Amino acid sequence: MKVITREGRAANAASEWKQTYFRNWEWQYGNDKEVIYYKLVALGCHPNYKDVDEAIGNTSWTNTYCNECNESVLKVIQLGEEPDYESSTARICKPCLLKAMEEMK
Ligand SMILES: [Zn+2]
């Protein structure tokens, strides 16, 4: 169980980007991957997620969707197994979590 925020994902974006696209000592999947990496690094250790989204060109590296209501929210709690292929993992927003607790009364 852990809390995942858009700002937290944004802070990890540069290192995760490099892990994904820098392999065998070279940048993979196009010349823009290195350019984007240095844009992410230039944003510093605590970048605003909007700046990260702009550097990458989409929200997929910072978004935090709730798996119950499918809303894009700033914070979710991750429940279940660590995310992996076919893992049982759910990311839930606070309103849905409170609703779930109400159901469990
Ligand atoms: Zn929700």
- Residue 8 pLDDT class (50, 70, 90 cuts): very high
Do 103 and 70 lie in a common domain?
Answer: yes
Distance 17 CA to ligand 1 centre (A): 27
Tokens of 8: 């937290």
Q: 């994904």: which residue's tokens?
A: 20
Tell me the per-residue pLDDT of 55-97, one tens digit each, with 9 for 90 and over.
999 999 999 999 999 999 999 999 999 989 899 999 999 999 9
Pick from 104, 1, 2, 4: nearest CA to 62: 4
Q: Is the pLDDT of residue 31 over 90?
A: no
Q: How far apart are CA 56 and CA 19, in angstroms?
A: 15
Do 50 and 12 lie in a common domain?
Answer: yes
Distance 20 CA to ligand 1 centre (A): 29
- Which residues sit with Cβ closer than 5 angstroms to ligand 1, an ion? 66, 68-69, 93, 96
Domain containing 68: what range? 64-105
Report the domain count for the chain: 2
Q: What is the mean pLDDT of the chain?
A: 96
Do 50 and 68 lie in a common domain?
Answer: no
Identify the bridge partners of residue 78 per DSSP, sorted by sequence position. 2, 91
